[in-house]
């Protein structure tokens, strides 16, 4: 049993962790690590917390994350993991484990266990989603055939509900300013699907970060863009193409980051236009882009949304998360409220995180002017 735990087996073990926090402490995770996991998900995301905890344990102890260590740690709490349980897992043929683990299971494990890039700055934690203001763009015909654009608030769990478009294949375009939370929004959708809380009308939710293809040749097939290894792809393609993609949701993040060639001719364009050559006629697509970089998609989208950023309450919550203490958080909020232009800029999530992070960096103090915040932003971008 002195072998590294496999991810598939940890997912199975996670199902039996009724008290995941106690299990975490027994395995050697710190109070801060347990609190981080707990805060990253809502109170109803217990399955994701269990998986996340075991994956964090495996990443922390690396080559010491063995089945033997797992059994030893839980030796006095046999309701968690017993020697017999682990032996049964180890004697199960790997082909059987793979066969019973669908592509959907693979995706759910990925969404539950993947952390934001720790080297990225600003420190945007995808696990801590704050409510974004989302509006739907509607075109209304008024007198003499004049068309007026109207923006209507919409809740995230209703973005696929449209009485006039119920029978149509849906392509949803989400536009917004850089840093307005588009990527975080898509990742939140992935995690809510994985936890079983939202978007359960879809059997598969596939997140694709388009920036990964900004310097490569344009991919031509679905297999080239699937987030899984070659052993899983054959099964994944069968699941995706069953019933012409019905029940499959593609989340294409960052249309504006694709080169023009890929925007004009690639698998991504085929998915959006519902090209029949890939058997995806009934799939659903959500694609994000910055303003002004996706005009050619307006006519293809069955629905257009915009992310407008934070409200005042979300700015306050962001400050409380990053601040070293409550007193410092209140001091910064007062400073922002005394400078309306700076507070207004913080409604854009990226600006808020830069401003707050810069404020609580030692020896920097408060940012007093809006121009200082912009200077800080430019300096950060030049360092990337």
Q: Between the CA of residue 384 and those of 30, 121, 196, what are the distances in Å?
A: 32, 9, 36
Note whether 174 and 301 are within 8 A (CB). Answer: no
Containing H/E element for 115?
none
Give me the pLDDT at residue 243, please: 80
Which residue ranges of the chain lie beneath pLDDT 70?
A: 1, 15-18, 42-45, 74-101, 113-130, 139-148, 162-169, 324, 360-384
Residue carrying structure tokens 């119920």: 166
Give me the pLDDT at residue 257, please: 92
| Encoded tokens for 128 | 């801590």
What count of other Cβ atoms lies within 10 Å of the Cβ of residue 136?
A: 17
In terms of phi and psi (left: phi > 0; alpha: psi -120 to 50; beta: otherwise), the region of 292 is: left
- 305 phi/psi in degrees, rounded to 5: -125, 160
Give me the pLDDT at residue 44, please: 61
| CA end-to-end distance (rounded Å), the chain | 44
- Tell me if the bond preceding 65 is cis, omega within 30° of 0: no
Q: Is 89 helix (H, G, I), strand (E, B) or coil?
A: helix
- CB-facing half-sphere around the CA of 164: CA atoms within 13 A: 3
State pLDDT tens for residues 323-334: 767 888 888 888
State pLDDT tens for residues 1-37: 578 888 777 877 776 666 788 888 888 899 888 888 8
217-224, Cβ contacts within 8 angstroms, sequence gap of 24 or more: 218/259, 218/261, 218/262, 218/265, 218/266, 218/267, 219/266, 219/267, 219/268, 220/266, 220/267, 221/267, 221/278, 222/267, 222/271, 222/278, 222/280, 224/267
Containing H/E element for 249?
strand 248-253
Task: Tell me how many degrees the CA angle 189-118-58 measures, rounded to the nearest 5.
Answer: 85
pTM over 0.75: no
């Amino acid at each position: 049993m002195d072998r590294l735990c496999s991810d598939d087996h940890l997912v199975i073990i996670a199902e039996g962790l009724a008290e995941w926090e106690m299990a975490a402490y027994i395995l050697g995770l710190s109070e801060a690590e347990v609190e981080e996991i707990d805060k990253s998900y809502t109170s109803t995301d217990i399955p994701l917390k269990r998986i996340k905890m075991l994956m964090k344990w495996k990443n922390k102890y690396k080559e010491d994350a063995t089945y033997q260590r797992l059994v030893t740690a839980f030796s006095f709490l046999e309701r968690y993991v017993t020697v017999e349980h682990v032996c049964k897992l180890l004697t199960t043929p790997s082909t059987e484990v793979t066969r019973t683990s669908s592509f959907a299971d693979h995706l759910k494990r990925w969404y539950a266990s993947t952390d934001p890039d720790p080297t990225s700055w600003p420190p945007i934690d995808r696990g801590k989603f704050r409510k974004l203001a989302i509006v739907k763009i509607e075109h209304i015909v008024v007198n003499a055939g004049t068309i007026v654009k109207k923006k209507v608030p919409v809740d995230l769990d209703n973005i696929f509900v449209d009485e006039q478009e119920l029978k149509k294949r849906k392509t949803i375009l989400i536009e917004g300013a850089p840093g307005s939370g588009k990527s975080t929004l898509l990742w939140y959708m992935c995690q809510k699907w994985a936890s079983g809380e939202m978007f359960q009308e879809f059997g598969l939710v596939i997140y694709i970060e388009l920036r990964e293809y900004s310097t490569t040749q344009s991919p031509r097939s679905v297999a080239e863009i699937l987030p899984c290894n070659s052993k899983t792809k054959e099964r994944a393609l069968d699941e995706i193409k069953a019933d012409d993609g019905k029940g499959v949701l593609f989340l294409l993040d960052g249309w504006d980051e694709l080169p023009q060639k890929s925007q004009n001719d690639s698998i991504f364009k085929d998915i959006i236009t519902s090209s029949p050559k890939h058997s995806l006629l009934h799939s659903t697509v959500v694609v994000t882009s910055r303003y002004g970089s996706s005009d050619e998609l307006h006519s293809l989208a069955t629905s257009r949304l915009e992310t407008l950023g934070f409200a005042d309450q979300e700015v306050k919550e962001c400050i409380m998360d990053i601040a070293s203490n409550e007193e410092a958080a209140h001091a910064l909020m007062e400073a922002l409220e005394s400078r309306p232009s700076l507070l207004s800029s913080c409604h854009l999530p990226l600006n808020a995180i830069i401003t707050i992070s810069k404020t609580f960096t030692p020896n920097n103090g408060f940012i007093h002017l809006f121009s200082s915040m912009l200077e800080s932003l430019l300096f950060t971008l030049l360092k990337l």
